[in-house]
Amino acid sequence: MSNAKRALQTEDLTKIEVFSDPQLSPDGNFYSYVSTKANDKDDYNSQLFVQSLNGDTPVQWTFGDVKNSNLRYSPDGKKAVFQSTRSGLPQLWLLPTEGGEARQLTTFKNGASNPTWSKDGKFIFFHASLDKDDDIQNQKEASKEERQKEQEDKKKQPLIVNRLKYKSDSSGFHDNKRVQLISLNLESNTFTQLTNNDADHGFQDVSPDGKQVLFAANLNENADYELSNDLFLLDLQSKEYKKLTDGNGGYHSASFSPSGDKVVSFGDEYEYAGATLTEIYVFDLASGERTCLSKSWDMQLGDLMIGDTRMGQSETGPVWSKDESSLFFIATDYGATGLYKVSLNKELTTLYKEDNHVFGFSYDQDKEAFVLGISSATNPCDFYYLKNDGTLTKLTKSNDAFLNEVAIAEPETLSVKAEDGKEIQGWLLKPYGFTEGKKYPFVLEIHGGPHAMYGQTFFFEMQLLAAKGYVVLYTNPRGSHGYGQEFVDACRSDYGGGDYKDLMTAVDYVLENYSFIDEDRLGVTGGSYGGFMTNWIVGHTNRFKAAVTQRSISNWLSFYGVSDIGFFFNKWEHGLNLLDDPAKLWEISPLRYAENVETPLLILHGELDFRCPVEQGEQLFITLKHLRKEVEFVRFPGANHELSRSGKPAMRQERLNHICRWFEEYL
């Protein structure tokens, strides 16, 4: 590694530009995208850009300290609808693509989101959160002052809870509002509420003839106790529903074929609970027959790559070809994601896969070409044009100035054989200014999930630790996606068993094969499930001299009742609920082994984390402190489970500074 470039610093987090949501124009001559970057108000701005496919410099379409996203072109390409917070809440705006000012389309009290055009360009369909008796023709967005007053008034009232699913990490405490589907007639400027069930509805697609809408929801009487998500066809004239699925699984990312005769969807039937591989299903609307195209692949569909510099949503498929003979999608496989094609006769073709992270795509049906969003271990993101002959052309230079200034470590890919013969993939980063013959401290990073994947994507936290002088190891132990159904299922009912051994085997491997690692200065850190594993590790071995546990789990008994997913997660991952076998849940809780902890432990936790609530960190801290162990607890106000990925920029930097401080002190 050349030292001509400077070392990465925590403050560099705010300099990175993050791309998402590429959208090709109907004529295929240019595309739009979303660029997100931290601003000077401790928040993020998201702006819309458009670029010609001849490689010209991208042109910025939106400005200001606001979030703009979800741009969708009209079928004729003359207009585009997008989502913006410029009025306060996310609302829909209409923009002439040849120039001119954007016009506000919605003023819904709780905002409007996720717009989609009808194929004739006369209607826009979208989501809106509504109370049961809301009049959609007379919606008025509350002012900032009115919203603040409403929030203050809420704080003065007790929260009445009568649902099992009464909170979520992304939304906080739920109210009685439900996400409904709305259509806007652009000619008459009138709104029509398409759904009114006591359920959240996820718009999927509108049929080519404009007569049906496809949506996902759970409309069962016992929906509060279920995790299924069915697909429904809504006839726009009769308002009658037709259920396409059988209530035994979860379905999403569905769309009509170009003829309207078929529907494709991602989904699974929870055969392995939360570790079940996603499949591609095609529904024949005339016969009602459902066909699974992917049953024999043993590959996870969609993008399951973990990173800390991805913001915004992007298409991962499945997307129809123009002649509806094939489908395109992203899949997660062996530390990377790629773009794939499958024909309706189940023939699978890899269109693009390298050692990197394809995080989104847009498909040109006429030219059979793609715009790909790609991140790598040494580049946060850029867009590329993939022609049907396989030619790949780089379109953007998003972070070139940053990358030309800062040294970024290139990972070395490892393959380690576990005790039972399983192959464990991992990556090793050398420290900034690496010198042969010198010994360096070491940090093991453990991902969350556990059913997710580390891999060939840009990870700021890893790079920062390498810049601070640490050798960094990150691996995919059993339970991770990317290595088939058996592998991802292998940690269920065995937390702290084979997964723990995989991690320790990987550490043993690098100590034996890389002489520049100082075996007396080993550190470990991880978040969520990775936080659980960090807690487990320090309770079962003293080989690490410092540990940082982030948004962790320490006690499965209390987790069952306090997490937004605890009531089903324990059953899914451990095979039992709280009352089934409390002794077993206590046996696999890191808190039980607190007396064994000799490793100095830093506990980082967001105070509004509803996924792994802060009481999990509190229990661990109080127990260790009471035992006079070396422990410190850092609480992040206003932060939820997504602190490291999409939290406030200042809080994200503070978190990184605490991690570096702790390892510097003890390693």
Q: Compute and round to an integer the Cα radius of gyration of the chain.
A: 25
Strands, DSSP E only, in 257-378? Answer: 262-268, 279-284, 290-292, 300-301, 319-320, 326-333, 336-343, 348-352, 357-364, 369-376
- Whether the bond between 158 and the residue before it is cis, its omega within 30 degrees of 0, is no
Does residue 466 surpass a pLDDT of 60? yes
Question: Which pLDDT tens digit goes with each residue over 199-244?
Answer: 999 999 999 999 999 999 999 999 999 999 999 999 999 999 999 9
**Cα(331)–Cα(7) distance, integer angstroms:** 34
Average pLDDT over residues 421-442: 97
- What does the pLDDT look like over 279-316, one tens digit per residue? 999 999 999 999 999 999 999 999 999 999 999 999 99
| pLDDT computed for residue 438 by the predictor | 97
CA atoms within 13 Å, Cβ hemisphere of 371: 28
Could you give the CA distance from residue 506 to residue 488 in angstroms, rounded to a whole number?
18
SS3 call for 273: helix
> How does strand 167-168 pair with strand 112-117?
unpaired
Mean pLDDT of 420-439: 97
**Separation between Cα atoms, residue 98 and residue 276, nearest integer Å:** 46
Q: Where are the alpha helices (DSSP H) in 185-248?
A: none
Please report the DSSP string for 509-574 in residue order: HHHHH-TTEEEEEEEEEEETHHHHHHHHHHHH----SEEEEES----HHHHHHHSSSHHHHHHHHH
Can you tell me the distance from the alpha carbon of 553 to that of 590, in angstroms, rounded to the nearest whole number? Answer: 8
Long-range contacts formed by 191-195: CB under 8 A, 24+ apart: 191/136, 191/137, 191/139, 192/136, 193/130, 193/136, 194/125, 194/234, 194/236, 194/239, 195/234
Residue 577 CB neighbour total at 10 angstroms: 15
**Would you say 405 and 6 are in contact if contact means Cβ atoms under 8 Å apart?**
yes
Q: Distance between CA 129 and CA 200 in Å, rounded?
A: 9
pLDDT of residue 3: 59
The separation between the first and the last C-alpha atoms of the chain, rounded to the nearest angstrom, is 23
Whether 427 has a pLDDT exceeding 50, the answer reads yes
Q: 444 with 503: CB under 8 angstroms?
A: yes
Q: What is the pLDDT of residues 640-661, one digit of tens each?
A: 999 999 999 999 999 999 999 9
Contacts of 661 (CB under 8 A, 6+ apart): none
Three-state DSSP state, 100: coil
Q: What is the mean pLDDT of the chain?
A: 96
How does strand 471-475 pair with strand 440-446?
parallel
Q: Is the pLDDT of residue 471 over 90?
A: yes
Taking Cα atoms as reference points, which of 191, 195, 190, 186 lies closest to residue 214? 195
Average confidence (pLDDT) over 134-150? 88
Residue 114 has pLDDT above 70, yes or no: yes
pLDDT one-digit tens code per residue, 27-85 = 999 999 999 999 999 999 999 999 999 878 999 999 999 999 999 999 999 999 999 99
From the list 67, 119, 72, 75, the residue with the least C-alpha distance to 94 is 72
Query: For residue 18, how many other CB atoms are within 10 A of its CB?
Result: 24
Tell me which H or E stretch contains 123: strand 123-130
pLDDT of residue 99: 86
Best CA proximity match to 46, nearest among 57, 61, 31: 61
Strands (E), 578-667: 601-606, 631-636
Buried b (16+ CB within 10 A) or exposed e, 90-126: bbbbbbebeeeebeebbbbbbbbbbbbbbeeebbbbb
Residue 50 has a pLDDT of 97
The alpha carbon of residue 576 and the mean position of all alpha carbons in its chain are separated, in whole angstroms, by 27
Tell me the C-alpha distance between 344 and 339, whole Å: 17
Whether residue 1 has pLDDT greater than 50: no
Q: What is the pLDDT of residue 154?
A: 85
**DSSP conformational letter for 453:** B
User: Which has more confidence, 154 or 582?
Assistant: 582
Rounded CA-CA distance 141/380 in Å is 36
Q: What is the percent of the chain with per-residue pLDDT over 70, rounded to a whole number?
A: 100
Residues serving a catalytic function are 528, 641
pLDDT of 165 strictly over 60: yes
Report cis status (omega within 30 of 0) of the bond before 411: no
